[in-house]
Copies of this chain bind each other. A is one copy, B any other.
Amino acid sequence: MYNETLLMMPGPVPMPESIRNAMTRQAINHRSQEFGDCYADIVRILKPIFGTKNDMLVLSGSGTAGLEAAIGSFAKGKKIVSLANGKFGERFSQIAAIYGESLMIESEWGHPLKLEELKENLENGAEVVTLVHNETSAAILNPAREIGKLARKYDAIFILDAITSIGGDLVETDKWEADVAIVGSQKCLAAPAGLAAVSVSQRAWDRLSEARPFYLDLKKAKKLADNKPMETPTTPAVPLFLALREACKLIEVEGIENRIARHHKMSAAVRAAGVAWGLVPVPQTDELHKASNTVTGFFYPTGIEDSQIRGFCKKMNIEFAGGQDRFRGKIFRIGNMGIIDAPEILVTVAAVQMAFKKIGYKLEDDGLAAAIEILSS
């Protein structure tokens, strides 16, 4: 009934067979050595991928659940500044507004963040800073290191949404002074959707909120994770833990440096194709703000409909993302998260080129050749 589709989305992403098969394990008691070992393996492998020695907790919920756990556990009633240059930055601010005194410092989607404005707010007593590291809605990579430095200078807690960067791009949680960092399972880790891993610094624990949500209480998660064997406060989504462990093991085998280099190369190939085609990239980069290395976005030329390009490719079972909200119909975004390698990039770039040819739109140059140039280097 449904065909296999090549998912070139900024998550969820294709999963290797061994990850999917890990979920077929018969039900186990989640208060057992077997489950505790699985949790411990995930934490052991994820810590260096996060670049952290902090505590690491895994929650049965999406990346968004991880963000809310961070805000709900550490930012309740506080002055929270959220930097936003895309949909997920804005959404982080919405979550913040539920728990604290929230202020959003907004840029145009895909435009550089306003660090001067952040600085002013920190001078005026902002206690928590939230940042989306890799803003997929606008395919931009934000300067986490510099923002972390600013937050620390003013003694604010820095919460880093690294949902779509960890496991595919460089994240140095401790060096960047991120008190809380969050990853989602179905992005660069290439595991199934449904889990969030969250790292928490001692500085954050020292400022724990007194009233916290129940399901997403990080303090309780920490208390149970400290048990031997490791446990979770409520029944965890066991099959997803087993799959995430397998995904982590595959990352260990590849090596995180190799994996990041691969992500950089794949996104560079897509960027090269788009530039050769003469399309305008979505992100406005500067010294600090770079194009994302895990998803690449371009504006459609005037008069081109989303259905003509993305719809055409989808009919060939190649699915990448369009624009969200204010970018709907205006951009397309090709993800290269997880296990995406040269073959998937080749076929996707070729399909886009074919779609433009099909409608008789004259592209500037041969994007596929430009991608091949990068991929074969």
Q: A28's contact among B5, B63, B235, by CB below 8 Å, is which?
A: B5
Contact B98 A214 (CB under 8 A): yes
Any B CB within 8 A of the CB of A295 = no
Q: Which of A1-28 contact B (CB under 8 A)?
A: 2, 4-5, 7, 9, 11-15, 17, 20-21, 23-28
Contact B235 A239 (CB under 8 A): no
Number of copies: 2
Contact A235 B186 (CB under 8 A): yes
Contact B68 A238 (CB under 8 A): no
Q: Which residues of B contact A68 (CB under 8 A)?
A: 213-215
CB of A242 to closest CB in B, whole Å? 10
Contact A98 B211 (CB under 8 A): yes
Q: Which residues of B contact A20 (CB under 8 A)?
A: 23-26, 239
Contact B23 A7 (CB under 8 A): no
Tell me which of A11, A23, A72 has the highest count of chain B C-beta atoms within 10 A of its own C-beta.
Answer: A23
Contact A12 B30 (CB under 8 A): yes
- With A94-B214, A215-B64 in contact, do A239 and B27 touch (Cβ < 8 Å)? no
Any B CB within 8 A of the CB of A77 = no
Question: What CA separation (Å) do A192 and B186 show in the bound complex?
Answer: 18
Q: Which of A298-316 contact B (CB under 8 A)?
A: none
Q: Which residues of B contact A60 (CB under 8 A)?
A: 60-62, 65, 193-194, 237
CB of A16 to closest CB in B, whole Å? 10
Kindly report which residue of chain B lies nearest to residue A186, judged by CB atoms.
B235
Kindly report which residue of chain B lies nearest to residue A187, judged by CB atoms.
B235
Any B CB within 8 A of the CB of A234 = yes
Question: What CA separation (Å) do A213 and B195 show in the bound complex?
Answer: 18
CB of A193 to closest CB in B, whole Å? 5
Contact B65 A215 (CB under 8 A): yes
Q: Which residues of B contact A11 (CB under 8 A)?
A: 235
Question: What CA separation (Å) do A65 and B215 show in the bound complex?
Answer: 6
- With A24-B20, A61-B60 in contact, do A235 and B193 touch (Cβ < 8 Å)? yes
Q: Which residues of B contact A5 (CB under 8 A)?
A: 28-29
Q: Which of A210-227 contact B (CB under 8 A)?
A: 211-216
Question: What CA separation (Å) do A19 and B184 show in the bound complex?
Answer: 25
Q: A237's contact among B17, B28, B216, B237, by CB below 8 Å, is which?
A: B237
Please name 16 pairs of A and B residues whose Cβ atoms are closer than 8 Å in the assembled complex, sorted by A. A20-B24, A23-B23, A23-B24, A24-B24, A30-B193, A60-B61, A62-B235, A63-B235, A65-B215, A98-B212, A184-B235, A192-B238, A194-B237, A195-B237, A213-B213, A239-B240
Which A residues fall within an 8 A CB radius of B?
Answer: 2, 4-5, 7, 9, 11-15, 17, 20-21, 23-30, 33-34, 60-65, 68, 72, 94-95, 98, 184, 186, 192-195, 211-216, 234-240, 243, 319
User: 6 tightest CB-CB pairs across the interface, nearest first?
Assistant: A194-B237, A23-B23, A64-B234, A12-B27, A20-B24, A62-B234
